[in-house]
A and B are shown apart, each in its own frame.
Chain A
Amino acid sequence: MAQRLLVNSSPHYRSGETTKTVMSDVVIAMLPILVGAVIFFGFRALTLTLVSVGACLAFETLFCKIAKKKNTIFDGSAIVTGMLLAFNLPVAVPYWLAVVGAFFAIVVVKMLFGGLGKNIVNPALAARAFLFSWPTLMTTYVKPFVSPALPIFSDPIFTNGGQVSDYIDSISTATPLKALKAGVLSDVDVMDMFIGNTGGCIGEVSAALILLGGIYLLCRKVITWHIPVTYIGTVALVTFIFPLTGGHFDFEFMLQSLFSGGLFLAAFFMATDYTTSPATPKGRVIFGICCGLLTVFLRYYSGYPEGASYSILLMNMLVLPLDRLTKPRRYGIGGGYHVESGK
């Protein structure tokens, strides 16, 4: 019998799940959010996302070429980073800003640290933080359903003379978070906030669609409940008990805090990033609670109205210590029904 048999170490049986299937699940979970963004903000939301994803793929290919490594774009993680980066941008920003963000995310944050699985902070969030070097661009939020729609091929924010255009002045809006930070309730209806009919970044406005994607990820067991539930739960609890509107126990303030800003996107898609979140269930719970506390703290006391992205970036640094701290109890030692040895 002339045959060549593979002899290797067990197990010889493996699930079909790979990095690629995980990443495609995340992309599938983000598609409804993208569709929602196109409905709210027009096709510029789609083109901006495509530019961001394309730039991420291009930079990763380029980096692998220069570093003489095998091209790693086929694992799909660059697509996820590109989409998340675009989701964290206001729809009116010029395309070059997305390209700069993609460069920072892929080259500086991810590839220079060793590529997928080796980065310390979340690439998309770090890029967003970096892009706040252009504060005017990053805080020009547009009302949903504007007419005429945002131009696709030109920069809507600045005129040729470098002045903020009248057009953008007429369609821009403050996010509900700004009102909340000032200690007053926003006049936007909570239901509108939940659906996404409000100003904000491309991917963060619709809590409903993010929830849909998040539930898909939970069902597919891509993420666990620990981080989203503890993160959102902590924010809910703290904003309910200590609202900025004065006094205590403000339910309306709590709901507006939950559904405005990037909390849901952060809790389901950013804080749950495998590489930059703890691997143990207990670690994830602590991570989620700390992210929630930091988010509220930053929202209340920092210069910007939003704190979700910075809270996650800060907690990213603590992933390794958190994992060590929450090492599972050793089997056979201290178990509930443990019987003394030698009995």
Chain B
Amino acid sequence: MISFNFKEKFSQESVFQNCDIDKPFEIEYNILGSLYLKAAAGKTRRTVFVFTETEVLFLAFSFKGGIHPIYNKDRTYASPIEELPAPEEVVIPLSQHIGAPCAPVVSVGEKVGIGQIIGDSDANLSCPIHSSVSGTVKAISPHWHPSGVKVQSIVIENDFEDTRNDSIEPYEGDFDDLTPSEIISYARDSGIVGMGGAAFPLHAKLRTAFDKKIEVIIINGAECEPFITADHRAMVEYPRAIINGAKLIMKCLGKTEAVIAIEDNKPDAIASITIIAEDSGIRVCPVKTKYPQGGEKQLIKAITGREVPPGKLPMDIGCAVFNVDTCASLFRAVSKGRPLTTRVCTVSGSAVANPKNLLVRVGTPYYELFDYCGGFTEEPYKIISGGPMMGSAQHSVEIPVIKNTSALLAFCGDEETFDEKPTCLHCGKCISVCPMRLMPNYIYMHAEKEEFGECKKYNVQDCIECGCCSYVCPGRLYLVQAMRMAKGHLPR
């Protein structure tokens, strides 16, 4: 039996924030099972949601479609988050979120400290960017960005002093006295974006959600992508920051209840969150392990049974989804006055010698992460920022980590099977796995002939590009590519 010491785990949390360890926990793995079952019994969902009690018993917390890929999480799910030593030089792109890119507010040669704003914008849909090291601004020039284009970036030479110059002050008073607008301004000033991958500025999301009537707040700890264990480790190692951050979001949106959804392949995360979330109004809901369970629309369907109508936002049906790491970042900003300058990133893949979960400063180039993990066992043929299903392939190891880099994967080539001449067999597997109820094979057929009007009839614009169809296709069709192309060419 593995002894699992929560006190020890919590002391590691000081890396992020000085949370009071008032309640020491000593639990062993054998009681995790019962805690997990207690959470799984469904007591977590009844009152808030539209399912009846009988339905809860029979419905898996899931959605229709999806796949069960080989998860490959076992290489990193048990390795604690390690802090990556600061690099000599960071390259911080001025566009790390959805929305307007920032303009630099520092000049070359200027001294900056950790947490100092170096880029900002007046646009509503944008958020400031902070320095992740202390040192001197070396250059402001275009650099390669994970999205595959060159983006104006600030290069800062690290002086290894780690002097802080935080742009925000920790909130001194009682958190109960915080007003929604104060929380929203904290979210903006600390530069927090959706950490799950979309990088939508948190303050913009909170503001929209505040204006609409939100019935259900869902905290997304599903982490359904293969290989990635960053959120998993975060939930095990600093559940308190996550729960407190979630409480701040509840406070901001005027709700007293929230649900945290965790896939049932993470029993230790379910257990630690269940213990910490006691009496906080946050319920733990274990969801079925299935890709793409962590997709916003799929998660809402699994938890509430509601479907987001085409072209609408989750908020239109009264739901708001936030990533667990986003919650933790918000709590760190409010309680410690720490802007978002670091993130947890899983480094894994068949080409990586010692896969790890790392706490990385934003702007660290990829090769630093790979070097820290023992380098490559063999020449990688592909490097991916994000998960293997939805992440983007990278052309260089000198590209920096940004706010939404949840994982960095290096593959040597066994992960994919290609076909020189992709042929549709009309087997219908893509239709049965599509979580958005599309017919990818027909969309492909029409996209290939550039009949984009026909593609629209098959609702190609609903596609979330999760990659389930391409994953299962025995004909090895490039289905997601075809969907993307069709979406780009849709007739108005």
Known A12-B384, A17-B474, A274-B427: A70·B421 in contact at CB below 8 Å: yes
For A223, give the chain B residue with the smallest CB separation.
B427
Q: Are B69 and A13 in contact (CB under 8 A)?
A: yes
Known A5-B383, A343-B213: A281·B432 in contact at CB below 8 Å: yes
Contact with A along B99-112 (1 / 0, CB 8 A): 00000000000000
Distance from A18 Cβ to chain B, minimum over Cβ atoms (Å): 5
For A278, give the chain B residue with the smallest CB separation.
B428
- Interface: A333 (CB within 8 A): yes
- Interface: A8 (CB within 8 A): yes
Q: Are A10 and B69 in contact (CB under 8 A)?
A: no
Stretch at the interface among A168-176, A198-206, A210-218, A334-342: A334-342
Q: Are B309 and A332 in contact (CB under 8 A)?
A: yes
Contact with A along B411-427 (1 / 0, CB 8 A): 10001110111011111
- Interface: A131 (CB within 8 A): no
- Interface: B88 (CB within 8 A): no
Q: Are B481 and A9 in contact (CB under 8 A)?
A: yes
Question: With A and B bound together, what is the CA distance between A335 and B213 in angstroms?
Answer: 21
Stretch at the interface among A132-140, A250-258, A291-299, A322-330: A322-330
| CB-CB contacts below 8 Å: B430-454 with A | 431-432, 434-439, 441-442
For B396, give the chain A residue with the smallest CB separation.
A5
List of A residues within 8 angstroms of B41 by Cβ: none
Distance from B207 Cβ to chain A, minimum over Cβ atoms (Å): 18
- Interface: A162 (CB within 8 A): no
List of A residues within 8 angstroms of B391 by Cβ: 10, 12
- Interface: A148 (CB within 8 A): no
Known A19-B475, A332-B312: A11·B467 in contact at CB below 8 Å: yes
Distance from A337 Cβ to chain B, minimum over Cβ atoms (Å): 3
- Interface: B36 (CB within 8 A): no
List of A residues within 8 angstroms of B307 by Cβ: 331-333, 335, 337-338
Question: With A and B bound together, what is the CA distance between A22 and B426 in angstroms?
Answer: 13
Interface size class of B (residues with CB under 8 A): 35 or more
List of A residues within 8 angstroms of B304 by Cβ: 337
Instruction: Tell which of B312, B317, B415, B462 has the most Cβ of chain A within 10 Å.
Output: B317
Indicate which residue in B379, B435, B437, B476 contacts A3 across the interface (CB closer than 8 Å).
B379
For B388, give the chain A residue with the smallest CB separation.
A13
Indicate which residue in A5, A279, A319 contacts B382 across the interface (CB closer than 8 Å).
A5
A interface residues, tally (CB under 8 Å): 52
Chain B interface secondary structure, helix, strand, loop or mixed? loop
List of A residues within 8 angstroms of B42 by Cβ: none
- Interface: B478 (CB within 8 A): yes
Distance from B105 Cβ to chain A, minimum over Cβ atoms (Å): 33
- Interface: A16 (CB within 8 A): yes
Distance from A113 Cβ to chain B, minimum over Cβ atoms (Å): 13
Indicate which residue in B388, B394, B415, B427 contacts A22 across the interface (CB closer than 8 Å).
B427
Q: Are B415 and A14 in contact (CB under 8 A)?
A: yes
Known A11-B480, A332-B309: A22·B425 in contact at CB below 8 Å: yes
Known A6-B381, A274-B427, A343-B213: A11·B388 in contact at CB below 8 Å: yes
Distance from A150 Cβ to chain B, minimum over Cβ atoms (Å): 36
Q: Are B382 and A18 in contact (CB under 8 A)?
A: no
- Interface: B336 (CB within 8 A): no
Indicate which residue in B397, B415, B421, B426 contacts A13 across the interface (CB closer than 8 Å).
B415
List of B residues within 8 angstroms of A274 by Cβ: 425-428
Interface residues of B (CB under 8 A from A): 50-51, 67, 69, 148, 213, 226, 297, 304-310, 312, 316-318, 367, 379-384, 388-397, 409, 411, 415-417, 419-421, 423-428, 431-432, 434-439, 441-442, 458-459, 462, 465, 467, 470-476, 478, 480-481, 484
24 residue pairs of the A-B complex, CB under 8 angstroms, read A5-B381, A10-B465, A11-B390, A12-B389, A13-B389, A13-B415, A15-B417, A15-B472, A18-B417, A18-B419, A18-B476, A19-B425, A22-B425, A70-B420, A116-B423, A117-B423, A279-B427, A332-B308, A333-B309, A335-B307, A337-B307, A338-B307, A341-B312, A343-B316
